[in-house]
Structure formats: C-alpha cells, structure tokens
Chain A
Amino acid sequence: MKEMLNIALPKGRLGEKVYAMFEQAGFPCPSIKENNRKLIFENQEAGVRYFWVKPSDVAIYVERGAADIGVAGKDILLEYRPQVYELLDLDIGKCRMAVAAPAGFRDDPNRTLRVATKFSRIARDYYAGQGRDIDIIHLNGSIEIAPILGLSDVIVDIVETGTTLKENNLEVTETVVPISARLIANKASFKFKNEPIEKILQQMAVLTER
C-alpha cells in the first residue's frame, strides 16, 4: 500500500485557498469538497490524507508528527516556535502583526507600557528589542476593547484591513512583522517522506511565483 502523506490544513477561508494550491500542485482529494462535517479526507491514488484543524493547532500537529506537512500563519510560528522546517512562504493570507492604540494616543516612555495581546511572546520580543519596559496583559479575544476600557494602553494584534480597529477608534502606530501563510514540515517526515514533500515544495514554489 502506498505510504500516505498527512497534510494538516487550517480550517476556514485560508484553508480552502491552501487546498486549492495543493490541488493545482497535483495532490487532489475530491472528497474534501463534499458538504459534510468530516475532518479527514484521503485520496489513496494521490497518496495524500488531508485533515482540517484549528489554524493555531496546525503547527502542533506537524511538530509532533501527526501531520507530515501543514500550512500555518507566521504569527503562530513566531508565537509558539515549533521545531519544524519552514519550507515556503505561500504568499497568501497576508496581513501584519501591528501595535494599535486609541486615536491620538501619546506614548510616555517614562511609564511602563501596558500591552494587551493574544501574542505575548511576539509582543515581549518586539519591545525587548527596543529596550522598552512593558506589562503584558494576555487576552484570548476581543483585544480591541482593552484600551477603550482602560485595561491597556495599546494592543498587539493581527491587522488585515484595519476595519475593526477603525470601528473601535483605534489606529495602527507600528508594524511589528508582516504575516503570511507558510508551508511547514515535520523534521523526521522530511527525511522519511522526502520525495513527495520535495515534489509539493517545488510545485507550490512555482504557484507562488506566478
């Protein structure tokens, strides 16, 4: 029986775009398009098994070898630093990690800056690079309301169009790092399933260059 390549896809719109790329690259799995609640799909002929997982969990599946390869956002890779190979920038799911503050916010460098974020490590590293003393307030959602309610001075979060910020009277003050989707591989899988992984890498590289 053909050895299957396990691919973790992030659930949602990004995952659908990513699957389309895999399909174009020659690794289709038609059953994935069926309208049902299944999470695992395979195409024995193409030697691939796809599964949908929460976007922030893709890196864990790949790091632990449950998936051989997967697609994860750079934000997740920076925050959790999984021990994986980061093979390709897919140039999709583009956005940026940014610092945002209430319009007209004046940063007083003599005071500890209170930063609300879901991405504590990224925020800590960013301000450490500037030698800035900060107080991290880790939140799991609705980060935008933290400065409005006086919980924090600024937020560090993913900004795509900026609409949510605008509607909450916030504005981007600094860009921390640009974000996009990355093709990642488990280190051992890269050795033992090198041929199909290299093939996918090459095909995906061609697609991203178009």
Chain B
Amino acid sequence: MNGYGCTLKKEEQAVFALRGLYEQYGYAPYKMSKFEEYDLYVRNKEFLISDGVITFTDTDGKLMALKPDVTLSIIKNSRDEAGCVQRVYYNENVYRVSEDAHCFKEILQTGVECMGDIDDCTLYEVLRLAAESLRRIHPKAVLDISHLGVLEDLLAPLALSAEGQAAVYRCVGEKNAHELQAVCDTYGIPDPTADTLRRLVGLYGPPAAVLPRLADLLGETPAVAQLRRLTDAFAGSAWAEMLRIDFSVVAAGRYYNGIVFKGFVAGSPDSVLSGGQYDKLMRRMGRRGKAVGFAVYLDRLGRDQEAAGYDVDALLLYKDGCDLAALMAAADTLRQEGTLILQKEIPQKLTYRRLYAFEDGEVRPL
C-alpha cells in the first residue's frame, strides 16, 4: 500500500483505501462538527444503533450530544433537488455504546450517503461500492443482500400488531425457524404465510441459486424483480462471487425500505459494513428525495492483524562522548531497514529484533 502499509493500522489502511475509492466515484467529502443538538436524536431514536447518547449542556443552555450517528446530520444538511443525486462520503468518529464492550466508545466510521432521485442505477452503484469497499478491506469477503419489501409484502395483509411484527422480524433476523412457528401460532398468522416465512428463513446463498427458489415461493413480485435486476447487473464482474441473498438482514427500525445489506470479512466475527435504502427517514425529516447509503465499522477491523511481537526493529547502544554526527549517520543507515531507537542502556521492557553497539565510530552487531 504505497509504502505505508506496514506503518498504518488496519483501520487507517481501510480509511486510506476507501477514501480514494469514494472520490473516484465522485463522492464529495462531508466534514461535520463533533456535536449536534440532542433533540435530533430524540426525534429519531429508532434510527440509532444504540440507545445511549453522551450529552452536555452548551454555554447557551442548549442540550447537545456527541454524535452517535452521521446519517441524521447529513440528511439535516441536505437539500432537495429534483432529478439530481447528492453523493457524499465521510470519515468520522462517533460516540455510542459498543455492542461488544457494553460501554461508550469512540468509533471511527466511514461510509457513503446518496440522497435525491435514487433509481436502480444509484442503488447498483452503492451496492458495487459496498462490495468493493469490502474487497479493499479483505480479499475474503461476503456481501449479504436482502429486500425488506419481501417481508413487508407477506406481512401487510395480516395487519399484525407492532409487537407481533417485531417478533417475526427478530426470528427472521436470527434465522430462527423453530421459534418463528411459535410466533406465527401466537399471533394467528395463517399456515400458508407461516410456511412461506419459515422457508424464507432457510434461503441463503448466491443469487443464481436463491432467486429461482424465491420466485417459486413468492412469484415475481416487484421486490423479487428488483433484487433480480440489481444482482443480475453483477454477473461476470469481480464482485459477483461475493454476493449472497440473505433475508436475515432485517434493518432495525421503521425507517428503512427496499434494499438492505450487510458485509462480512474473514477474521471479523460480526458484520463490518451495513447499509440500505432509507426513504422513510427522509420523509420523516421533511425531505422529498429518496436515500441509500452504508457505513463501514472500522472498529470491527484489525483484530486479525498480526501483532509485530517486538517494539522496535533495532536498538543501537551508544556511549557518552561519541561522535554525534557519525552516530546519527549510522542510525539513519540502520533506519532504512526499519524502526530504530538510540539508548545508552537496554531498557527493561523494550523488545527488539536486532541489537547494535556504536563503538569507535563503527556499528557492531551484538
């Protein structure tokens, strides 16, 4: 990676690679302040990944929050422009409760948002960017795609309670077919629909394998047709092998619609990328346009990066009164092979690969 690969941490390498990618597709960088009025998050609480928000009172008495999310701020500052699509990307720190640590964390997040006249072309572009983002992070990656319309079409005629709907979504999200049956019994979901839901949970695999089975199950509904159009467009591309259809990708909250997706890379136990279409959130925030985007969770990367096992490549010992210019010249030469530190004595806790001594104007390996 342009000579920086060995120095940058995994998440820094990802930011570096992804920024170039997004700019290549014409996405403009979006920079924002660390704070936002708390009210924005209270009004759109269901859109947030975690409930917790760090708040403080500003000097003018306004209750402010350290940003737990980026998308809401971008929408707030977006403009409606008929026939156009506004494309932005961001690299921002957000502050929210980590799902792993169950406490507040500063999380470096990068992602893209498209707002405006979103059509299949834009959706495909965003899916492609998501797939390429994953590929740039790790050569072994999977992009799971789902369409919320598939579940919505099945549940709409049933007029389920919010509680019932949440129970169905939870079971689908967990691939929990056995409990889904119990939920269907509890909420009086008719057997044919319950059976379709259970089969839907069992569907997983490349689009070419899953879509024919999906069409047999549901017919060529608009949601199925859109899934087919978008995944067909990948045929023969470098990303085709990465795609899977998976209906367990059920975005939380009532703000998403249409295509939703999650990305996984080998070595990270949970998804590292998450995104989808969120027209409903745009409506709620008074925008006429549609929107789609995704976030890459950089905090979930890096665990598979091999630890160096030592603090510096080389330790060069010198004595008082040595020729400083010659010492520095010798150190600079050694630095061409890696990191080097100068010391008069070996520090107790320092680990190194090579040890040298500078004596009589010469470097001697020890």
Contacts and interface: CB of A to CB of B under 8 A. Distances in A.
Contacts of A189: 269
B178 A88 contact: yes
A89 B181 CA distance: 12
A201 to B, nearest CB: 9
Nearest to A74: B179
B140 interface: yes
Interface string A10-35: 00000000000000000000000000
Interface stretch (A47-55, A79-87, A114-122, A162-170): A79-87
B144 A191 contact: yes
Contacts of A89: 178-179
B211 interface: no
A64 interface: yes
A195 B184 CA distance: 29
Contacts of B269: 63-65, 186-189
A188 B205 CA distance: 14
Contacts of A86: 174-176, 179
A187 B266 CA distance: 11
SS class, residues of chain B in contact with chain A: loop
A83 B297 CA distance: 16
SS class, residues of chain A in contact with chain B: mixed
A189 B140 CA distance: 12
A192 B99 contact: no
Contact of A192 (B142, B175, B176, B248): B142
A190 B264 CA distance: 10
Given A88-B178, A89-B178, A192 B268 contact: no
In the A-B complex, list the 9 residue pairs whose CB atoms are closest, starting with the nearest: A65-B269, A89-B178, A191-B142, A86-B176, A85-B175, A86-B174, A188-B264, A191-B264, A188-B269
13 contacts: A63-B269, A64-B100, A64-B269, A84-B174, A86-B175, A89-B179, A187-B271, A188-B264, A188-B271, A191-B244, A192-B140, A192-B266, A194-B205
Given A187-B269, A187-B271, A188-B269, 12 more contacts: A63-B269, A65-B269, A85-B176, A85-B248, A86-B174, A89-B179, A188-B268, A188-B270, A191-B144, A192-B140, A194-B204, A194-B205
